[in-house]
Each structure stands twice: as C-alpha cells, then as structure tokens.
C-alpha cells in the first residue's frame, strides 16, 4: 500500500479560544478564555476564519474532528513540514 500525505498543509494554530469552566464558581470569578495550540490539516481558509481537520482519510477524501477558528482569535499560525518514513525491521 502506498502512503500519501494529504493534499493540505499541516499547521499548528495558537489561538485565544473560548473559555469553559465546569466547576461551581461565584459570578464575580475571573473567567478567562483558553489560549493554546491545535494541530491539523488546513482544509479551508477564508478572510474571516480557518478550519483544520485533525484526521484525514485518503480513501474517500473525508475528514473528521474539524475545528474552525475566527481570524480575530488567532495569535500565530505555523506551517509544519511532515515527512513520511517507514520503519525497518521486525515488529
């Protein structure tokens, strides 16, 4: 079986996302948005947002676990350059 990379760039996105807190808190508590990294295949990019897929299936070109980020929440985008390698030897 021939392994092929998806036809999309692999990116890491550092974003100010939404905040979520499931603990009981006083309404005056300091609620802040989450800031962090997400990594995926950049499947759609517009002037307002970008969408990354965590999983890509070459057989039918479908994707799963897609996250869309508004541009105003994005702090940094890093394009990654993955390489396919095959391990040699017995498993």
For residues 85-91, average pLDDT: 53
User: pTM value?
Assistant: 0.75
Predicted confidence (pLDDT) per residue in 52-71, tens digit:
999 999 888 899 999 999 99
Residue 23's pLDDT is what? Answer: 78
Please state the length of the chain. 91
Q: How far is CA 37 from CA 5, 58, 63, 81, 88, in A?
A: 22, 25, 20, 17, 32
pLDDT for 89 beyond 60: no
Site of tokens 């998806």: 6
pLDDT for 44 beyond 50: yes
Question: What is the pLDDT of the chain when averaged over all its residues?
Answer: 86
Share above pLDDT 70 across residues of the chain, in percent, rounded to a whole number? 85
Site of tokens 């799963």: 64
| Residue-range domain boundaries for the chain | 10-19+33-80
């Amino acid at each position: 079986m021939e392994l092929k990379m998806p036809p999309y760039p692999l990116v890491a996105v550092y974003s100010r996302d939404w905040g979520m807190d499931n603990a009981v808190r006083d309404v005056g508590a300091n609620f802040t948005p989450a800031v962090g990294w997400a990594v995926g295949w950049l499947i759609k990019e517009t002037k307002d947002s970008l969408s990354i897929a965590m999983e890509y299936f070459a057989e039918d070109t479908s994707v799963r676990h897609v996250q869309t980020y508004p541009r105003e929440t994005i702090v940094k985008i890093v394009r990654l350059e993955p390489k396919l390698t095959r391990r040699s030897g017995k498993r």
